[in-house]
Amino acid sequence: MNLTNPLKRWAFLAVASLSIGGFQCKSPQPADEKPGNNYARIDSTDTEADIIRKAANVVPSDRQFRWQQLELTAFIHFGVNTFTNKEWGDGTESPEIFNPTSLDADQWAQICKAAGVKLMILTAKHHDGFCLWPSKFTEHSVKNSPWKNGQGDVVKEAVDACRRVGIGFGVYLSPWDRNSPYFGDSAKYNDYFINQLTELLTQYGKIDEVWFDGANGEGPNGKQQVYDFDRWYNHIRELQPDAIIAVMGPDVRWVGTETGYGRDTEWSVVPVDEQQQDKIAQNSQQNVSFTPKNMMDDDLGSRDKIFKARSLVWYPAETDVSIRPGWFYHREEDDQVKSPEKLLDIYFNSVGKNGVLLLNIPPDKRGKIHQNDSLSLIQWKSLLDETFSVNLLKGSKVSVSSGKFSSGNDASGMTDGAYSSYWIADESDTTAVIEFQLSEKIKFDVLMLQEYIKKGQRIESFVLEYNDGDNWKEIVGGTTVGYKRLLRFDEVDANRIRLRITASRLNPTIAEIGLYRYPVTSK
C-alpha cells in the first residue's frame, strides 16, 4: 500500500472514526465555558454572540501552554534508513546494518541547544519497526546490531545528552510498523504497542512529547490495523502526565504541510465534530479526548467555522520541516541543506504564524550531525539573535485607548520581553488603539505581536500605522496573532507608531509588542 506524504496521515481516518462511533457515551456534562478550560461545548440554543464568547474563553491546558512557549523543537530522524539510504524502510532490513561509527548524541543535543532549540524528538521507531532501544518485545532492534556489540541504547544516549544541556526530550513512535508480525492483527498489535510505550515511558525518566504519525499500511495478513488511540493516550497520561501527545494526538495538531510554512490566519481554537463532543466534555482533554480529523483546510477556526461547530477545543499547530529535502540523512543531499536565511524565513512563517517549529536535523552514518547542517543552524541562530535582541519600542511613551495592565499602571510590560506581563482592553471593547511615542525616529521593518493566550486567542484583525507628521499611514495589517505573530515589511522611519486592533472576539490582550530590523544579510 502506497501512502504518499502528507495525505497518508489521514489515511487511517475512516478507521479512527469507527472507534469513535463505538464509544459508549455517558450522559453529557453541562456546558462549561469557565475561563481555564481548553474546550467549550456549543449548545443548540447558543447565539452567534454566545459562540464567540465561548471561543474567546477557550485557553491552553498547562501542558499546551508550556509546549507553545518552546517555540523551537527539533526532530532527529535516525535509524536503519540512515544506512540503507531510504526514507521508508520496509521492515526486512537486517539489524546488522545499523552500525554508526562514532555516534555522538551529545553533539546532537549541543547543536540543538546552540541553535536555541528547547526540545529534541528522536525517531525511537520509524515505519520499518526497528527500535533504537533494546526492546524486549522484538528482535528488530539495536540489541541485534553490531553497534556497541548489541549493548547500545540510542534512546538512553539521546535522553542523557538532552538532560546534560538542559533541553527537553520526546519520542517518535511510529504506529505503522512494517516489521511486526502482529501488525494488522489489531488487538495483538495494540498490546505490542502498549508494551513499547511502557518501555519508553518508564525507563528513561521524564518524556516531554510523544509524537504519532497517522500512516497505516496493510499488515502481513492483508488486514488493516485498527489503532487503539484511546488506550494509548490513556496509557501515556498515566505514565507521563505532562507529556504532549502530538499530531495523531489530542494536544497538538499537524499544521498541514511539511514545508515549514503555516497559515496566515492560524486559530488555536478549532471545532471538533459532533461525535467527539461528549468525549471531550467528559474528559476535558485530561485523559482521552479525541482523534484528530483532517486539519489541512485553509480555514480551521474562523467565525464561519465555529458557528457550525458543536464543540471547540484548544488545538494548536506544530509546523514540521526538514533542514534537508529528506527526513533521513542522504549524502547526496549534503549541498541541499537549508540556508540560515531560508531557516529565518521559515521561523517567520512557523513560530511567527502562531505555531511551534519542529525542525528535522538527521544525523549521518557516523551518528553525527553533518557540518553543513550545524553551520547553517548556528548562523541561523545568530540571525535570530541579531534580529530580536533589541526591541526598538522599549522606552517609548505608551497610551492605550482603554484597559489595564497586569502589573499596575505599567505599560512597559508590553515591551519588557516577559510574556507574563500583559495589557487587556476594557471588557466592553473589541477594538483598541495602542500608541507609541518615541523621543527619536526609529527605522524598522519587522513587527512582533503576542497575545496573552492564558486569556484565550481573540484578535481577528489588526493594522500597524505610523504618523508622518500629518497623517496616519498604514504599514502592514494582519488577521490572527495568537502566541506569536511576525510580519516583515518595507523599512519605515518614524517616531509615532500605533497598533490598531480592528476586530477581536471579546476584549483583546497584548503580552508583547516589538519592532525590529531584519538582518541586512538576509534581505
Contacts of 514 (CB under 8 A, 6+ apart): 388, 391, 392, 393, 415, 446, 447, 448
- With vertex at residue 483, the alpha carbon angle to CA 302 and CA 476, rounded to the nearest 5 degrees, is 70
CB 517 within 8 A of CB 387: yes
Least distance in Å: CB of 308 to ligand FUL? 29
Q: Is residue 466 a contact partner of residue 472, using CB atoms and an 8 Å limit?
A: yes
**Is 359 or 425 the residue whose CB approaches ligand FUL more closely?**
359
Q: Which of 70, 105, 215, 446 binds ligand FUL (CB under 6 A)?
A: 215
Region for residue 324 given its phi and psi (left: phi exceeds 0; alpha: psi -120 to 50; beta: otherwise): beta
Q: Of the two residues 121 and 280, which places its CB atom closer to ligand FUL in the complex?
A: 121
- Are the C-beta atoms of residues 267 and 300 closer than 8 Å to each other? yes
For the purposes of burial, counting CB atoms within 10 Å of the CB of 104, is it exposed (0-12), middle (13-18) or buried (19 or more)?
Answer: middle
CB of 211 to ligand FUL, least distance (A): 8
Shortest separation between residue 78's beta carbon and ligand FUL, angstroms: 11
Give the nearer residue to ligand FUL in terms of CB position, either 33 or 213: 213
Q: How does DSSP classify residue 141?
A: B
In whole angstroms, the minimum distance from the beta carbon of 123 to ligand FUL comes to 7
Q: How far is the CB of 10 from ligand FUL (least distance, A)?
A: 11
435-470 in b/e burial notation, b at 16+ Cβ within 10 A? bbebeeebebbbbbbbbbbbbbbbbbbbbbbbeeee
Shortest distance in whole angstroms from residue 173 CB to ligand FUL:
11
Q: Which helix (H) or strand (E) holds 344?
A: helix 340-350
Q: Indicate the residue among 178 and 505 with the shorter CB distance to ligand FUL.
A: 178
Residues facing 312 on adjacent strands: 40, 271
- Cβ nearer to ligand FUL, comparing 9 with 293: 9
Torsion angle defined by CA atoms of residues 255, 260, 264 and 267, in that order, rounded to the nearest 10 degrees: 30
Residue nearer to ligand FUL on the CB measure, 11 or 194 = 11
Query: In this complex, which beta carbon is closest to ligand FUL, that of residue 10 or of residue 419?
Result: 10
Give me the least distance between CB of 136 and ligand FUL, in Å please: 24
What is the number of helices (H) and of strands (E) in the chain? 12, 20
Nearer to ligand FUL, 9 or 279 (CB): 9
Q: How far is the CB of 514 from ligand FUL (least distance, A)?
A: 32
In sequence order, the 6+-apart residues with CB closer than 8 A to the CB of 192 are 137, 138, 177, 180, 182
Span 434-463, contacts to ligand FUL by CB under 6 A: none
Nearer to ligand FUL, 130 or 462 (CB): 130
Q: Which is nearer to ligand FUL, 246 or 510 (CB)?
A: 246
Tell me which residues in 84-123 interact with ligand FUL (CB under 6 A).
Answer: 87
Residue ranges in 8-47 that form contacts with ligand FUL under rule CB under 6 A: 9
Binding mask 303-342 for ligand FUL (x = CB under 6 A): -----------------x------x---------------
At 238, the amino acid letter reads E
Q: Is 84 helix (H, G, I), strand (E, B) or coil?
A: helix
Kindly provide the residue ranges of all beta strands, DSSP E only, lying in 114-256, ordered along the sequence.
119-125, 168-173, 209-212, 244-247, 253-254
CB of 410 to ligand FUL, least distance (A): 44
Check: CB of residue 390 under 8 Å from CB of residue 516.
yes
Measured from the CB of residue 279, what is the shortest distance to ligand FUL in angstroms?
Answer: 25
- Asked if residue 213 binds ligand FUL (CB under 6 A), the reply is yes
Complex with ligand FUL: residue 6 or 220, whichever CB lies closer: 6
CB 417, min distance to ligand FUL, A: 32
Cell for 257? 504541510
Min dist CB 398 to ligand FUL, Å, is 43
Check: CB of residue 511 under 8 Å from CB of residue 450. yes
d(CA 158, CA 143): 16
Give the separation between CA 52 and CA 50, rounded to whole angstroms.
Answer: 5
Q: How far is the CB of 359 from ligand FUL (least distance, A)?
A: 11
Please, which residues have CB within 8 angstroms of residue 356's CB and are 6 or more apart in sequence?
A: 67, 68, 70, 71, 72, 73, 252, 316, 317, 318, 319, 350
- Report the residue number, 315 or 327, with the smaller CB distance to ligand FUL: 327
Least Å from the CB of residue 4 to ligand FUL: 9
Type of residue numbered 66? R
Applying CB under 6 A, among 5, 85, 286, 382 the residue interacting with ligand FUL is 5
Question: Exposed, middle or buried, 44 (CB in 10 Å: 0-12/13-18/19+)?
Answer: exposed
Q: Which residues 6+ apart lie within 8 Å of 508 measured at CB? A: 424, 425, 429, 430, 432, 451, 458, 459, 501
Burial 335-368 (b: 16+ CB within 10 A, else e): eebbebbbbbbbbbbbbbbbbbbbbbbbbbbebb
Q: Which is nearer to ligand FUL, 225 or 450 (CB)?
A: 225
Q: Kindly tell me which of 199 and 213 has the beta carbon lying closer to ligand FUL.
A: 213
Interface with ligand FUL (CB under 6 A): 5, 9, 87, 213, 215, 320, 327
